[in-house]
Amino acid sequence: MNVNVPLPKQETPAEQGLSIVDCDIHPAPKSVDELFPFMAKRWQDHLKTFGSHVRQGLADGLAHPRMTPDVARVDAWPEDGSTPGSDPEFMRKHHLDANGVEYGILIPLGRSGSHQRNLDYGAALCSAVNDWQIQKYCEFDKRIRASITATQEDPAVAVAEINKRAKDKRFVQVMIPPRAVEPLGKRRYWPIYEAAVANNLPIGLHLGGMGGHPSTGSGMGSYYIEEHTSNVQTMQSLITSLVIEGVFEAFPDLRILLIEGGFAWEPALNWRLDKHWKRFKEEVPHLKRAPSEYVREHIRFTTQPIDEPENPRDMRPIIDWVGVDRLLFSTDYPHWDFDDPRYALNNAGLSVAEKQQIFSGNAKKFYGLQ
């Protein structure tokens, strides 16, 4: 049973004079019809008849059902009962204005073209979702920015989509899922990185994807707690692949943001990669530097879900090991494990200047905002 425990009243960062860039906001369509204006009739018909064809047992649902309807916090439902994140006016009042968000970056999930085994259908969905973000959200509120979704399994088509969208500067990144059919470091995905770099766009890798592999190296977990946590391991193997395959040797200007994976686990991964690299060097002669150097130079993290050590003072060394400049604040609005900006960074031993960096400074630099 969930019990509501009221937290002590805190000022919002805006009330403290701190601006926020929220790097993880989830929009949603009220109904699938919202995408139709952006889809050819052939694909509208396909959606209505054959629909989603993915690498898991449930065609449209999550095989590990969540604990709250639509994964959402219980107070995020607009008055008309439509799904959280689907009402831009409500999102503006409930989140952007209330929390003093200066810029919000959209991460569209659900009905993702990236998951589809029918690549042409997937491309149609990605294109529609890209148009929809701009027309429904970015046009509505000038604070909102969008992500270019693309079919990573069809790199040539993904590149075309990226090149098409890059001219609209309201798109601030390329978005593909970590759980692809192959680890994203593999060379078949490199044209996507080439296109991103050519257009001066970072890659935002928000947890998720349906590559057809179990969530662990030993099969699927039974429970949502396992599934939720497995996204940390996904980020670990994602970093490992990008580094060891030599993506950063090939693309020295590539910038990566890992979204919704947290970050406290990163120092241990770096130490592990560096230690074992000494013994495996001969297998990977294309790596010219220690793995952690590539990670620190190219990869950043959003903060949510912020890790909560049993002893709060253990957070500071983690942040020092990761680096204040590599953390970009995010809330994950409107999901149940949303990080409230009034509380999320309070126990990390941060100075005001550091808080400002994490709340907005790092993201503004990363995305070229303002």
> Interface residues for other proteins in 200-229 (CB under 8 A)?
211, 213-226, 228-229
CB atoms within 10 A of CB 230: 18
Report the DSSP beta bridge partners of residue 166: none
Q: How many residues bind other proteins (CB under 8 A)?
A: 69
For the CB of residue 37, give the shortest distance to other proteins in the complex, in Å. Answer: 35
Residue of 120, 307, 325, 340 that binds other proteins (CB under 8 A):
307
Q: Which of 251, 159, 258, 282 shows the shortest CA–CA distance to 206?
A: 258
Binding mask 36-65 for other proteins (x = CB under 8 A): ------------------------------
- Contact window for other proteins (CB under 8 A) among 146-154, 162-170, 302-310, 362-370: 302-310
| C-alpha span between 58 and 50 (Å, rounded) | 14
* Minimum distance of other proteins from residue 353's CB (angstroms): 24
Helix, coil or strand: residue 243? helix
Q: Where are the alpha helices (DSSP H) in the chain?
A: 41-49, 88-91, 119-132, 155-165, 190-198, 224-244, 247-250, 266-280, 291-298, 315-322, 352-356, 362-367
Looking at 30, 117, 170, 186, which residue binds other proteins (CB under 8 A)? 186
Q: Is residue 82 near other proteins by the rule CB under 8 A?
A: no
Q: How far is the CB of 187 from other proteins (least distance, A)?
A: 9
Helix (H) or strand (E) holding 256: strand 256-259
* Window contacting other proteins (CB under 8 A); options: 80-88, 149-157, 234-242, 325-333: 234-242
What would the DSSP string read from start to end of 123-155? Answer: HHHHHHHHHHIIIIIITT-TTEEEEEE--TTSH
Residue 334 touching other proteins (CB under 8 A) = no
| Contacting residues toward other proteins, per CB under 8 A | 1-2, 67, 178-186, 211, 213-226, 228-230, 232-234, 236-238, 240-241, 244-245, 262, 264-265, 267-269, 271-273, 275-277, 279-280, 282-284, 305, 307-311, 314, 317-318, 321, 336-337
